[in-house]
Amino acid sequence: MAEAQNHASPADPVPNARLEEAAARLRRLVAEVLSGLTRKIDEDGHYPENFLRAYGRDYGFGHAVDPGYGGQPGGLVGVITGMEACSEECVSTGFLVWCQTSCAWYLQKSGNAALKRSLLPAICSGEQLAGTGLSNLLKARSQIEPLRLRATQAPGGYRLLGTLPWISNLAPGAVFAVGAATNDGTLLALARVGAPGLALTRAGPFCGLDGTSTMSCRFDNVFVGRGDIIADEAEFDSFFARMRAGLILAQMGMALGLTQGALTLIEEARSLARPTDTFVQHQPDGLRERLRVARADTLTAAQALDVGAPPPFTEILAIRARGAVLALDSAQGALLHCGARGYLERHPAQRRLREAYFIAIVTPALKHLCRDLARDAGARDATPAV
Ligand SMILES: Cc1cc2nc3c(=O)[nH]c(=O)nc-3n(C[C@H](O)[C@H](O)[C@H](O)COP(=O)(O)OP(=O)(O)OC[C@H]3O[C@@H](n4cnc5c(N)ncnc54)[C@H](O)[C@@H]3O)c2cc1C
Protein backbone atom coordinates (compact mmCIF):
# COMPACT_ATOMS: atom_id res chain seq x y z
CA MET A 1 0.00 0.00 0.00
CA ALA A 2 2.34 2.75 -1.15
CA GLU A 3 0.92 6.20 -0.69
CA ALA A 4 1.39 8.79 -3.41
CA GLN A 5 3.36 11.72 -1.95
CA ASN A 6 2.95 14.21 -4.76
CA HIS A 7 0.03 16.20 -3.39
CA ALA A 8 0.01 19.48 -1.53
CA SER A 9 -0.36 18.79 2.18
CA PRO A 10 -3.57 19.84 3.95
CA ALA A 11 -1.16 21.37 6.46
CA ASP A 12 -0.07 24.02 3.94
CA PRO A 13 -0.76 27.52 5.34
CA VAL A 14 -4.50 28.14 5.24
CA PRO A 15 -5.72 31.04 3.19
CA ASN A 16 -7.86 32.35 6.05
CA ALA A 17 -9.90 34.60 3.81
CA ARG A 18 -11.00 31.61 1.71
CA LEU A 19 -11.99 29.62 4.79
CA GLU A 20 -13.86 32.63 6.16
CA GLU A 21 -15.71 33.02 2.86
CA ALA A 22 -16.67 29.33 2.84
CA ALA A 23 -17.74 29.50 6.50
CA ALA A 24 -19.92 32.53 5.75
CA ARG A 25 -21.55 30.58 2.91
CA LEU A 26 -22.14 27.68 5.27
CA ARG A 27 -23.65 29.91 7.95
CA ARG A 28 -26.10 31.20 5.34
CA LEU A 29 -27.00 27.61 4.40
CA VAL A 30 -27.55 26.78 8.08
CA ALA A 31 -29.78 29.83 8.57
CA GLU A 32 -31.74 29.31 5.36
CA VAL A 33 -32.07 25.52 5.28
CA LEU A 34 -31.04 23.73 8.48
CA SER A 35 -32.91 26.02 10.89
CA GLY A 36 -36.14 25.04 9.12
CA LEU A 37 -35.38 21.34 9.59
CA THR A 38 -34.19 21.22 13.19
CA ARG A 39 -37.58 20.51 14.74
CA LYS A 40 -38.32 17.76 12.20
CA ILE A 41 -34.90 16.23 12.88
CA ASP A 42 -35.43 16.31 16.64
CA GLU A 43 -39.10 15.38 16.83
CA ASP A 44 -39.59 13.07 13.85
CA GLY A 45 -36.10 11.59 13.53
CA HIS A 46 -35.75 13.17 10.08
CA TYR A 47 -32.35 12.40 8.50
CA PRO A 48 -31.18 15.63 6.77
CA GLU A 49 -29.63 13.96 3.73
CA ASN A 50 -30.32 16.87 1.36
CA PHE A 51 -28.71 19.30 3.79
CA LEU A 52 -25.62 17.08 4.00
CA ARG A 53 -25.36 17.01 0.21
CA ALA A 54 -25.65 20.81 0.14
CA TYR A 55 -23.00 21.06 2.90
CA GLY A 56 -20.70 18.97 0.73
CA ARG A 57 -21.31 21.20 -2.29
CA ASP A 58 -21.11 24.59 -0.53
CA TYR A 59 -18.48 23.90 2.14
CA GLY A 60 -17.09 20.39 1.75
CA PHE A 61 -16.17 17.54 4.10
CA GLY A 62 -12.53 17.44 3.01
CA HIS A 63 -10.76 20.27 4.82
CA ALA A 64 -8.32 17.80 6.38
CA VAL A 65 -7.82 15.91 3.11
CA ASP A 66 -5.11 16.43 0.49
CA PRO A 67 -6.34 18.62 -2.41
CA GLY A 68 -5.19 15.83 -4.75
CA TYR A 69 -7.85 13.57 -3.21
CA GLY A 70 -10.61 16.19 -3.47
CA GLY A 71 -9.88 18.05 -0.23
CA GLN A 72 -10.41 21.74 0.47
CA PRO A 73 -7.91 24.01 2.25
CA GLY A 74 -8.46 24.65 5.95
CA GLY A 75 -7.20 21.57 7.79
CA LEU A 76 -8.82 20.34 11.00
CA VAL A 77 -9.68 23.96 11.76
CA GLY A 78 -11.94 23.90 8.69
CA VAL A 79 -13.51 20.61 9.79
CA ILE A 80 -14.25 21.94 13.29
CA THR A 81 -15.49 25.31 12.02
CA GLY A 82 -18.09 23.63 9.78
CA MET A 83 -19.24 21.25 12.50
CA GLU A 84 -19.52 24.15 14.94
CA ALA A 85 -21.70 26.16 12.54
CA CYS A 86 -24.15 23.22 12.24
CA SER A 87 -24.10 22.35 15.94
CA GLU A 88 -24.91 25.91 16.94
CA GLU A 89 -28.27 25.17 15.31
CA CYS A 90 -28.55 21.36 15.66
CA VAL A 91 -26.06 18.93 17.25
CA SER A 92 -27.67 15.98 15.45
CA THR A 93 -26.53 17.47 12.14
CA GLY A 94 -23.17 18.51 13.59
CA PHE A 95 -22.64 14.88 14.60
CA LEU A 96 -23.44 13.70 11.05
CA VAL A 97 -20.76 16.09 9.81
CA TRP A 98 -18.35 14.52 12.29
CA CYS A 99 -19.26 11.01 11.03
CA GLN A 100 -18.60 11.97 7.40
CA THR A 101 -15.40 13.93 8.10
CA SER A 102 -14.08 11.16 10.37
CA CYS A 103 -14.33 8.58 7.62
CA ALA A 104 -12.51 11.02 5.32
CA TRP A 105 -9.88 11.50 8.06
CA TYR A 106 -9.18 7.74 8.31
CA LEU A 107 -8.75 7.52 4.56
CA GLN A 108 -6.52 10.59 4.54
CA LYS A 109 -4.29 8.86 7.11
CA SER A 110 -4.40 5.51 5.28
CA GLY A 111 -1.60 4.18 3.09
CA ASN A 112 -4.12 2.59 0.69
CA ALA A 113 -3.70 5.01 -2.22
CA ALA A 114 -6.11 3.16 -4.54
CA LEU A 115 -8.94 3.30 -1.98
CA LYS A 116 -8.20 6.98 -1.34
CA ARG A 117 -8.33 7.75 -5.05
CA SER A 118 -11.57 5.89 -5.56
CA LEU A 119 -13.50 7.19 -2.53
CA LEU A 120 -12.11 10.36 -1.01
CA PRO A 121 -13.23 12.88 -3.66
CA ALA A 122 -16.84 11.68 -3.43
CA ILE A 123 -16.76 11.69 0.40
CA CYS A 124 -15.31 15.22 0.44
CA SER A 125 -18.05 16.48 -1.89
CA GLY A 126 -20.84 14.65 -0.07
CA GLU A 127 -21.79 12.51 -3.08
CA GLN A 128 -20.70 9.45 -1.08
CA LEU A 129 -22.14 9.25 2.45
CA ALA A 130 -19.81 7.81 5.07
CA GLY A 131 -19.79 6.82 8.71
CA THR A 132 -17.50 5.64 11.47
CA GLY A 133 -18.01 2.63 13.71
CA LEU A 134 -14.97 3.14 15.92
CA SER A 135 -16.52 3.59 19.38
CA ASN A 136 -15.85 -0.05 20.19
CA LEU A 137 -12.28 0.24 18.91
CA LEU A 138 -11.60 3.37 21.01
CA LYS A 139 -12.98 1.65 24.10
CA ALA A 140 -10.96 -1.47 23.33
CA ARG A 141 -7.76 0.60 23.03
CA SER A 142 -8.55 2.00 26.50
CA GLN A 143 -9.17 -1.56 27.81
CA ILE A 144 -12.83 -0.78 28.54
CA GLU A 145 -14.36 -3.56 26.43
CA PRO A 146 -13.16 -6.22 23.96
CA LEU A 147 -13.30 -5.76 20.18
CA ARG A 148 -16.72 -6.93 19.04
CA LEU A 149 -15.78 -7.68 15.41
CA ARG A 150 -13.52 -10.55 14.39
CA ALA A 151 -11.72 -10.64 11.00
CA THR A 152 -10.70 -14.00 9.57
CA GLN A 153 -8.42 -14.29 6.53
CA ALA A 154 -10.19 -15.42 3.36
CA PRO A 155 -8.94 -15.61 -0.25
CA GLY A 156 -8.48 -12.00 -1.39
CA GLY A 157 -9.36 -10.41 1.95
CA TYR A 158 -11.15 -11.06 5.23
CA ARG A 159 -14.52 -12.14 6.58
CA LEU A 160 -16.01 -10.03 9.40
CA LEU A 161 -18.16 -11.53 12.15
CA GLY A 162 -19.86 -9.75 15.07
CA THR A 163 -22.21 -6.86 15.93
CA LEU A 164 -21.69 -3.14 16.45
CA PRO A 165 -24.82 -1.69 18.10
CA TRP A 166 -24.70 1.96 16.98
CA ILE A 167 -23.32 3.41 13.73
CA SER A 168 -24.73 6.67 12.34
CA ASN A 169 -25.04 8.31 8.90
CA LEU A 170 -25.85 4.94 7.33
CA ALA A 171 -28.12 5.74 4.39
CA PRO A 172 -28.40 3.25 1.51
CA GLY A 173 -25.08 3.11 -0.36
CA ALA A 174 -23.06 4.53 2.55
CA VAL A 175 -19.62 3.26 3.50
CA PHE A 176 -18.23 3.15 7.03
CA ALA A 177 -15.05 2.26 8.86
CA VAL A 178 -14.86 -0.52 11.45
CA GLY A 179 -12.08 -1.98 13.57
CA ALA A 180 -11.75 -5.76 13.90
CA ALA A 181 -9.58 -8.23 15.78
CA THR A 182 -7.46 -10.66 13.77
CA ASN A 183 -5.25 -13.51 14.98
CA ASP A 184 -2.27 -11.15 14.91
CA GLY A 185 -3.72 -7.82 16.00
CA THR A 186 -6.22 -5.23 14.79
CA LEU A 187 -7.18 -3.87 11.38
CA LEU A 188 -9.38 -1.07 10.10
CA ALA A 189 -11.69 -1.97 7.22
CA LEU A 190 -14.19 -0.15 5.06
CA ALA A 191 -17.63 -1.77 5.15
CA ARG A 192 -20.29 -1.06 2.53
CA VAL A 193 -24.02 -0.85 3.27
CA GLY A 194 -25.69 -3.54 1.15
CA ALA A 195 -22.80 -6.03 1.35
CA PRO A 196 -24.00 -9.66 1.53
CA GLY A 197 -24.22 -10.81 5.16
CA LEU A 198 -24.43 -7.27 6.60
CA ALA A 199 -27.77 -6.72 8.38
CA LEU A 200 -28.74 -3.19 9.48
CA THR A 201 -31.52 -2.50 11.98
CA ARG A 202 -32.55 0.99 12.98
CA ALA A 203 -31.24 1.67 16.50
CA GLY A 204 -33.24 3.65 19.09
CA PRO A 205 -35.57 5.44 19.21
CA PHE A 206 -33.29 7.77 21.17
CA CYS A 207 -34.35 10.76 23.28
CA GLY A 208 -32.20 12.97 21.02
CA LEU A 209 -30.01 12.59 17.93
CA ASP A 210 -32.71 10.36 16.46
CA GLY A 211 -32.29 11.95 13.01
CA THR A 212 -28.81 10.50 12.61
CA SER A 213 -29.81 7.32 10.74
CA THR A 214 -28.13 5.24 13.44
CA MET A 215 -28.08 1.50 12.81
CA SER A 216 -27.23 -1.65 14.66
CA CYS A 217 -24.90 -3.54 12.30
CA ARG A 218 -24.66 -7.33 12.37
CA PHE A 219 -21.80 -8.81 10.34
CA ASP A 220 -22.38 -12.42 9.39
CA ASN A 221 -19.12 -13.36 7.66
CA VAL A 222 -19.18 -10.21 5.53
CA PHE A 223 -16.39 -10.32 2.94
CA VAL A 224 -14.06 -7.30 2.78
CA GLY A 225 -11.51 -7.39 -0.04
CA ARG A 226 -7.89 -6.33 0.52
CA GLY A 227 -8.63 -3.21 -1.51
CA ASP A 228 -11.02 -2.05 1.24
CA ILE A 229 -8.53 -2.37 4.08
CA ILE A 230 -7.75 1.09 5.47
CA ALA A 231 -4.97 -0.17 7.74
CA ASP A 232 -3.84 -3.76 8.11
CA GLU A 233 -2.35 -5.39 11.22
CA ALA A 234 1.22 -4.43 10.34
CA GLU A 235 0.32 -0.74 9.91
CA PHE A 236 -2.39 -0.46 12.52
CA ASP A 237 -0.50 0.90 15.53
CA SER A 238 1.20 3.71 13.64
CA PHE A 239 -2.04 4.46 11.74
CA PHE A 240 -3.99 4.67 15.01
CA ALA A 241 -1.35 6.94 16.55
CA ARG A 242 -1.61 9.25 13.48
CA MET A 243 -5.37 9.58 13.49
CA ARG A 244 -6.69 9.28 17.07
CA ALA A 245 -5.98 12.86 18.26
CA GLY A 246 -7.66 14.51 15.25
CA LEU A 247 -10.65 12.19 15.50
CA ILE A 248 -11.29 13.08 19.14
CA LEU A 249 -10.42 16.78 18.89
CA ALA A 250 -12.81 17.26 15.96
CA GLN A 251 -15.75 16.37 18.24
CA MET A 252 -15.16 19.77 19.84
CA GLY A 253 -17.10 21.25 16.91
CA MET A 254 -20.24 19.88 18.57
CA ALA A 255 -19.38 21.26 22.02
CA LEU A 256 -18.41 24.73 20.75
CA GLY A 257 -21.51 25.05 18.55
CA LEU A 258 -23.90 23.83 21.22
CA THR A 259 -22.41 26.25 23.77
CA GLN A 260 -22.84 29.19 21.41
CA GLY A 261 -26.44 28.10 20.71
CA ALA A 262 -27.16 27.82 24.45
CA LEU A 263 -25.64 31.27 25.07
CA THR A 264 -27.96 32.74 22.45
CA LEU A 265 -30.95 31.23 24.28
CA ILE A 266 -29.69 32.64 27.59
CA GLU A 267 -29.21 36.10 26.08
CA GLU A 268 -32.73 36.02 24.61
CA ALA A 269 -34.34 34.85 27.85
CA ARG A 270 -32.34 36.65 30.51
CA SER A 271 -33.83 39.70 32.13
CA LEU A 272 -32.15 41.69 34.84
CA ALA A 273 -35.60 42.95 35.76
CA ARG A 274 -36.27 39.45 37.11
CA PRO A 275 -34.80 39.19 40.59
CA THR A 276 -33.72 35.56 40.18
CA ASP A 277 -31.78 35.33 36.88
CA THR A 278 -28.48 36.45 38.38
CA PHE A 279 -28.71 33.49 40.78
CA VAL A 280 -28.61 30.85 38.05
CA GLN A 281 -25.39 28.91 38.57
CA HIS A 282 -24.02 29.25 35.02
CA GLN A 283 -24.03 32.94 34.03
CA PRO A 284 -23.44 34.12 30.46
CA ASP A 285 -20.20 35.98 31.19
CA GLY A 286 -18.58 32.88 32.66
CA LEU A 287 -19.85 30.61 29.90
CA ARG A 288 -18.71 33.08 27.22
CA GLU A 289 -15.21 33.18 28.68
CA ARG A 290 -15.04 29.39 28.94
CA LEU A 291 -16.22 29.15 25.32
CA ARG A 292 -13.52 31.60 24.24
CA VAL A 293 -10.83 29.55 25.97
CA ALA A 294 -12.21 26.22 24.71
CA ARG A 295 -12.29 27.51 21.13
CA ALA A 296 -8.77 28.93 21.37
CA ASP A 297 -7.41 25.69 22.88
CA THR A 298 -9.20 23.60 20.25
CA LEU A 299 -8.06 25.65 17.26
CA THR A 300 -4.49 25.88 18.56
CA ALA A 301 -4.36 22.09 18.96
CA ALA A 302 -5.99 21.62 15.53
CA GLN A 303 -3.40 23.89 13.88
CA ALA A 304 -0.61 22.00 15.66
CA LEU A 305 -2.00 18.70 14.35
CA ASP A 306 -2.35 20.20 10.88
CA VAL A 307 1.33 21.10 10.76
CA GLY A 308 2.42 17.72 12.14
CA ALA A 309 3.42 18.99 15.60
CA PRO A 310 0.82 17.23 17.76
CA PRO A 311 0.38 18.34 21.35
CA PRO A 312 0.57 15.59 24.01
CA PHE A 313 -2.39 13.24 23.59
CA THR A 314 -3.57 13.88 27.16
CA GLU A 315 -3.97 17.55 26.24
CA ILE A 316 -6.42 16.52 23.48
CA LEU A 317 -8.32 14.32 25.96
CA ALA A 318 -8.47 17.18 28.47
CA ILE A 319 -9.75 19.68 25.88
CA ARG A 320 -12.44 17.22 24.81
CA ALA A 321 -13.43 16.50 28.43
CA ARG A 322 -13.67 20.22 29.24
CA GLY A 323 -15.78 20.61 26.08
CA ALA A 324 -18.26 17.99 27.32
CA VAL A 325 -18.55 19.68 30.73
CA LEU A 326 -18.95 23.09 29.08
CA ALA A 327 -21.73 21.72 26.84
CA LEU A 328 -23.55 20.28 29.88
CA ASP A 329 -23.15 23.50 31.90
CA SER A 330 -24.24 25.80 29.09
CA ALA A 331 -27.27 23.67 28.20
CA GLN A 332 -28.27 23.53 31.86
CA GLY A 333 -27.72 27.29 32.12
CA ALA A 334 -29.98 27.82 29.10
CA LEU A 335 -32.79 25.71 30.53
CA LEU A 336 -32.60 27.29 33.99
CA HIS A 337 -32.55 30.80 32.54
CA CYS A 338 -35.51 30.03 30.28
CA GLY A 339 -37.40 28.44 33.17
CA ALA A 340 -40.80 26.86 32.53
CA ARG A 341 -40.83 28.20 28.97
CA GLY A 342 -37.68 26.21 28.27
CA TYR A 343 -39.38 23.12 29.65
CA LEU A 344 -42.09 23.22 26.98
CA GLU A 345 -41.82 20.27 24.61
CA ARG A 346 -41.09 22.48 21.61
CA HIS A 347 -38.63 24.87 23.24
CA PRO A 348 -35.02 24.51 22.04
CA ALA A 349 -33.62 24.78 25.59
CA GLN A 350 -34.74 21.27 26.52
CA ARG A 351 -33.39 19.95 23.18
CA ARG A 352 -30.03 21.55 23.98
CA LEU A 353 -29.89 19.62 27.24
CA ARG A 354 -30.53 16.28 25.47
CA GLU A 355 -27.91 17.17 22.84
CA ALA A 356 -25.38 18.09 25.54
CA TYR A 357 -25.79 14.70 27.16
CA PHE A 358 -25.00 13.11 23.81
CA ILE A 359 -21.71 15.07 23.63
CA ALA A 360 -20.91 13.67 27.08
CA ILE A 361 -21.79 10.05 26.20
CA VAL A 362 -20.57 9.62 22.64
CA THR A 363 -17.27 7.76 22.65
CA PRO A 364 -14.95 8.83 24.14
CA ALA A 365 -17.59 9.54 26.79
CA LEU A 366 -16.80 11.98 29.57
CA LYS A 367 -16.39 9.05 31.98
CA HIS A 368 -14.01 7.36 29.51
CA LEU A 369 -11.96 10.57 29.11
CA CYS A 370 -11.78 11.08 32.88
CA ARG A 371 -10.66 7.48 33.36
CA ASP A 372 -7.90 7.80 30.74
CA LEU A 373 -6.77 11.13 32.21
CA ALA A 374 -6.80 9.71 35.75
CA ARG A 375 -4.78 6.69 34.61
CA ASP A 376 -2.26 8.94 32.90
CA ALA A 377 -2.06 11.22 35.95
CA GLY A 378 -1.69 8.15 38.19
CA ALA A 379 1.18 6.96 36.04
CA ARG A 380 2.79 10.40 36.47
CA ASP A 381 1.58 10.77 40.09
CA ALA A 382 -0.30 13.99 39.17
CA THR A 383 -3.83 15.41 39.27
CA PRO A 384 -6.01 14.75 36.18
CA ALA A 385 -5.98 17.69 33.76
CA VAL A 386 -9.77 18.30 33.32
C1 LIG B 1 -27.48 8.35 18.93
C2 LIG B 1 -26.19 7.59 18.97
C3 LIG B 1 -25.40 7.55 17.88
C4 LIG B 1 -24.19 6.83 17.90
N5 LIG B 1 -23.43 6.78 16.77
C6 LIG B 1 -22.29 6.08 16.78
C7 LIG B 1 -21.47 5.98 15.60
O8 LIG B 1 -21.77 6.57 14.55
N9 LIG B 1 -20.37 5.22 15.64
C10 LIG B 1 -20.00 4.54 16.78
O11 LIG B 1 -18.98 3.86 16.74
N12 LIG B 1 -20.71 4.64 17.91
C13 LIG B 1 -21.85 5.38 17.95
N14 LIG B 1 -22.59 5.46 19.09
C15 LIG B 1 -22.11 4.77 20.30
C16 LIG B 1 -21.51 5.73 21.32
O17 LIG B 1 -20.36 6.37 20.81
C18 LIG B 1 -21.15 4.99 22.59
O19 LIG B 1 -20.18 4.03 22.33
C20 LIG B 1 -22.32 4.29 23.17
O21 LIG B 1 -23.26 5.28 23.50
C22 LIG B 1 -21.97 3.43 24.40
O23 LIG B 1 -21.12 4.12 25.22
P24 LIG B 1 -21.22 4.00 26.80
O25 LIG B 1 -20.17 4.90 27.33
O26 LIG B 1 -22.63 4.15 27.24
O27 LIG B 1 -20.77 2.54 27.03
P28 LIG B 1 -20.59 1.81 28.40
O29 LIG B 1 -21.12 2.62 29.54
O30 LIG B 1 -19.18 1.36 28.45
O31 LIG B 1 -21.47 0.55 28.28
C32 LIG B 1 -22.63 0.44 27.60
C33 LIG B 1 -22.75 -1.04 27.42
O34 LIG B 1 -24.00 -1.37 26.88
C35 LIG B 1 -23.84 -2.39 25.98
N36 LIG B 1 -24.83 -2.36 24.92
C37 LIG B 1 -24.65 -2.90 23.75
N38 LIG B 1 -25.71 -2.75 22.98
C39 LIG B 1 -26.59 -2.06 23.66
C40 LIG B 1 -27.87 -1.56 23.38
N41 LIG B 1 -28.45 -1.73 22.18
N42 LIG B 1 -28.51 -0.86 24.33
C43 LIG B 1 -27.93 -0.67 25.50
N44 LIG B 1 -26.70 -1.12 25.80
C45 LIG B 1 -26.04 -1.83 24.91
C46 LIG B 1 -22.48 -2.15 25.39
O47 LIG B 1 -21.96 -3.39 25.05
C48 LIG B 1 -21.70 -1.53 26.45
O49 LIG B 1 -20.90 -2.46 27.07
C50 LIG B 1 -23.79 6.17 19.10
C51 LIG B 1 -24.61 6.24 20.24
C52 LIG B 1 -25.78 6.94 20.19
C53 LIG B 1 -26.62 7.00 21.43
Structural domain ending residue among the three candidates 114, 130, 146: 130
| Domain co-membership, 125 together with 22 | yes
Ligand 1 geometric centre to CA of 359 (Å) = 12
CA of 361 to the centre of ligand 1 (A): 8
Q: Are residues 140 and 126 in the same domain?
A: no
Nearest CA to ligand 1 atom 14: 166
In a domain, 303, yes or no: yes
Is 220 in the same domain as 257? Answer: no
CATH of the domain at 219: 2.40.110.10
Q: Does residue 152 share a domain with residue 126?
A: no
Helices 252-269 and 91-109: angle between axes, nearest 10 degrees? 160
Task: Name which residue sits closest to atom 38 of ligand 1, judged by CA.
Answer: 165
Buried b (16+ CB within 10 A) or exposed e, 266-292: beebbeeeeeebeebebebeebbebbe
CA angle, corner 385, sides to 384 and 386, nearest 5? 100
**CATH (domain of 120):** 1.10.540.10
> How many domains, the chain?
3
What tens digit of pLDDT does each residue of 311-358 get? 999 999 999 999 999 999 999 999 999 999 999 999 999 999 999 999
Ligand 1 atom closest to the CA of 99, numbered from 1: 8
| pLDDT, tens digit only, all 386 positions of the chain | 434 333 344 444 445 788 999 999 999 999 999 999 999 999 999 999 999 999 999 999 999 999 999 999 999 999 999 999 999 999 999 999 999 999 999 999 999 999 999 999 999 999 999 999 999 999 999 999 999 999 999 999 999 999 999 999 999 999 999 999 999 999 999 999 999 999 999 999 999 999 999 999 999 999 999 999 999 999 999 999 999 999 999 999 999 999 999 999 999 998 877 889 999 999 999 999 999 999 999 999 999 999 999 999 999 999 999 999 999 999 999 999 999 999 999 999 999 999 999 999 999 999 999 999 999 988 877 777 77
Which atom of ligand 1 lies at the shortest distance from residue 144's CA?
Answer: 30
The residue from 173, 201, 234 where one domain ends is 234
CATH number at residue 274: 1.20.140.10
Give ligand 1 pocket residues (Cβ under 6 A): 99, 131-135, 144-145, 165-168, 206, 209, 212, 214, 361-363, 365
Q: How far apart are CA 9 and CA 244, in angstroms?
A: 19
Closest residue by Cα to atom 16, ligand 1, is 362
Neighbours of 144 (CB within 10 A): 16
The one-letter amino acid at 268: E
Q: Do 295 and 326 reside in the same domain of the chain?
A: yes
Judgement on whether residues 217 and 265 belong to the same structural domain of the protein: no
239 located within any domain: no
- What is the residue range of 309's domain? 251-380
Q: Is residue 297 part of a domain?
A: yes
Residue 9 in domain? no
CA 73, 74, 80, 86 torsion-angle sign: negative
**Prediction pTM value:** 0.94
Atom of ligand 1 nearest to the CA of 216: 41
Asked if the structure places residue 240 within a domain, the reply is: no
Going from the Cα of 139 to the center of ligand 1, the distance in angstroms, rounded, reads 10
Q: Does 107 lie in the same domain as 147?
A: no
The DSSP letter of residue 45 is -
Domain annotation covers residue 242: no
Q: Which of 139, 362, 369 to mutate to test the pocket of ligand 1 (most atoms within 8 A of CB)?
A: 362
Residue 361 inside a domain? The answer is: yes
Residues 26 and 87 in one domain: yes
Domain final residue, candidates 171, 206, 234: 234
Q: Are residues 337 and 317 part of one domain?
A: yes
